[in-house]
Structure 1
Amino acid sequence: MAKLSRNAIIGYPAGIVTGITYGLNPLFAKPLMNNGASTEAILFFRYGIAVVLLGAFLLLKKESFRINLRQAGVLLGLGLLYTASSAFLFEAYKYIASGLATTLVFLFPVMVAIIMVFLKVVPSWPVWLSIAATFAGVMIMTGGTGKEAIDPTGIWFSIASAFVYALFIVIINRSKAISSIPNSLLTFYALSVGTVFFLTRCGLSGAELLTGLDGGMAWANLLGLAILPTIVSTASLAIATRNIGATKASVLGVFEPITAILVGTLVFGEELTPNIIAGILISIVAVSFMIMLTKR
């Protein structure tokens, strides 16, 4: 096997970190939802705390927040796409099983690859094979939902979540306007848009911001949500996308459902079935295959 390039050494671990940290969402969100906190309030505090922490970090580093009008437009679009992906996914959970929703959202690597083809960037055959194998692995992991009633509304919300997330990844990879913006600043502005969006949504829905957020553990969970699945995940996604490309970075997102399933099993006592074990092994082999054969 040829030696991995510098971009690969940086990009592949960043992509894995993205999937693992984003997959930790249930670890922090499930106790909050079980305690009666509204989805709108959880997402508002998740994004809001992340913006405050990241803003303080940027100030300590004496980073400039200055962007031009063109960059502001692209960052606004990225923020809306990232926020819409979260909103659509939570809506899907209201109509279909979360396992099925997760599977459908993992259509996004396929969508990224197709979008890149239209942009005349054709993925190599190992990448296409890895996309197919990882999606098959996730389908096997979430097997068993076939006996449940499937509402088409939930299907469409999941597909919409996958599509806007795919657009988010492609824009980060292809936009020259924001290519000079540091990953931390890009993350700050994207999350700022989400904070405003979910605060507005709380106001329109009449959701009580502090309901179900009693005690130190609730705020510790919100802090965990803000740092790992939000700041770390978004920043590492930008790093991975810029170093190994949109398609490969999206394939590494398979670590998201793997992590979420392991959290459910180890923390919440959910059953670890042979389907889940087989799906995880298939996905890991597929990702390893892609890394070994696509070193650039």
Structure 2
Amino acid sequence: MGGLQVIVAAICWGTLGIFTTYLHQLGFDSVQIAILRVVTAAMMLLMLLPSLWTSIRQLSVGEILQLSLQSLIGVLGMTVCYFIAVNFVGAGIAVSLLYTAPIFSLVLAFFLLKEPITKKSFTLACIAVLGVALTTLSENFTLSWGIVFGLLSGVCYSLYGILGKKALHKHYPPTLVFFSSVVISAIALLLLPMTYQTYAKAFTMPAITWLWVMGLSLVGTVIPFFLYMSALHKLPATKASVFTVFEPFTAIVLSIVLLHQSLNGMQYSGMILILLATLLNSIKLPMQRHRQLTEVDTQV
């Protein structure tokens, strides 16, 4: 049952690129779509506030500041970069570049957490780099910006888990990490006039706009998180992280079937190498690192 929950959660996360593309087609830019996702999801998560209030009150000023950094980089930064990448290179390539996150985690954890890089980890990183190189073949200069933002989304994605690990002690519930990471970004966005302009624009759009917004926030964010956290009570984090490989496969299949986005043979090969490196990375790393990387998966 736990494995099935993770698979369903990964499939839900894999729909993000599809909802993003549909909203792009309606005239929303990447920042506006990020606003719609984060703020709408935060509204849904406010129902958790009573149950988390005790834990929130126990947070120190330093932990709040680190959680804020985690939220603004790991959630808001990742969301904006990923949605920009989807707009430039399509959901299939964008999600593959997003999944370079565990490789960036190896490097960033070495500098920020002083965790050693093993020979196996270095080899997998090289495989992922080769995969990125193949994925970017046949891309012209305009599309190369999509590659840049796709890789930046992977960096932000990896920092979500690393910053969360530095910020929180073990006695804080994982639900608090997700709640704070979304809500803090939403609060920051509410300080911007663009947020209110975006929602005003959404209210003037066809009704189907809200179907895509709800899909982005509920199906692509809130539901998969709760499924994933429920699954972690039933199976080890190591196994859960392996099942999340269904996310990029879902995004790739949906982009081909629903959006008719085509890829060449080299790009398929590159995507396979990236996913293979990620999968082997999940299987080989120790449990402590797995918790860090699987925390990353709970944002998107």
TM-score (norm 1): 0.70
Q: Which residue number corresponds to residue 64 of structure 1?
A: 53
Match of 2:60, as an amino acid? L
Q: Which residue number corresponds to residue 291 of structure 2?
A: none
Percent identity, aligned pairs only, is 19
Equivalent residues of 2:39, 2:183 under 8 A apart: yes
Equivalent residue for 1:116, pick from 109, 112, 121: 109
Aligned 1:200-279 pairs, distance under 5 A: 200-201=191-192, 203-204=193-194, 207-212=197-202, 214-232=205-223, 236=228, 256-271=247-262, 273-275=264-266, 277-279=268-270
Tell me how far apart the structure 1 counterparts of residues 48 and 30 of structure 2 sit (CA, whole Å).
Answer: 27
Per-residue CA distance 1:245-291 (angstroms, 9 max, x = gap):
9xx96x98765543322111122222365445545554555455445
TM-score (norm 2): 0.69
Aligned 1:1-296 pairs, distance under 5 A: 20-57=11-48, 59=50, 62-64=51-53, 66-67=56-57, 68-70=59-61, 71-81=63-73, 82-91=75-84, 97-98=89-90, 105-118=98-111, 119-137=113-131, 139-140=133-134, 142-146=135-139, 148-150=140-142, 157-175=149-167, 177-201=168-192, 203-204=193-194, 207-212=197-202, 214-232=205-223, 236=228, 256-271=247-262, 273-275=264-266, 277-279=268-270, 281-283=272-274, 285-290=276-281, 293-294=284-285, 296=287
Tell me how far apart the structure 2 counterparts of residues 14 and 135 of structure 1 sit (CA, whole Å).
Answer: 31
Per-residue CA distance 1:128-176 (angstroms, 9 max, x = gap):
4344434544554x35433x1258866655554433332222122343x
Match of 2:184, as an amino acid? V
Match of 2:65, as an amino acid? G
Equivalent residues of 2:11, 2:246 under 8 A apart: yes
Equivalent residues of 2:96, 2:271 under 8 A apart: no
Pairwise CA RMSD of aligned residues?
4.1
Equivalent residues of 1:44, 1:194 under 8 A apart: no
Match of 2:181, as an amino acid? A
Q: What is the CA distance between 1:205 and its match in structure 2?
A: 8.2
Tell me how far apart the structure 2 counterparts of residues 281 and 107 of structure 1 sit (CA, whole Å).
Answer: 12
Equivalent residues of 2:17, 2:83 under 8 A apart: no
Alpha carbons of 1:285 and 1:43: their partners in 2 closer, same or farther (altered >3 Å)? closer
Q: Which residue number corresponds to residue 3 of structure 1?
A: none
| Higher relative contact order (CA closer than 8 Å, sequence separation 6+) | 1
Alpha carbons of 1:185 and 1:166: their partners in 2 closer, same or farther (altered >3 Å)? same
Q: What is the CA distance between 1:20 and its match in structure 2?
A: 4.4
Equivalent residues of 1:258, 1:280 under 8 A apart: no
Per-residue CA distance 1:99-146 (angstroms, 9 max, x = gap):
766565554333211122233322444444344434544554x35433
Structure with greater proportional helix content: 2
Q: Which runs of 5+ in 2 are unaligned?
A: 288-300
Equivalent residues of 2:41, 2:222 under 8 A apart: yes
Equivalent residues of 1:25, 1:225 under 8 A apart: yes
Alpha carbons of 1:205 and 1:89: their partners in 2 closer, same or farther (altered >3 Å)? same
Equivalent residues of 2:15, 2:250 under 8 A apart: yes
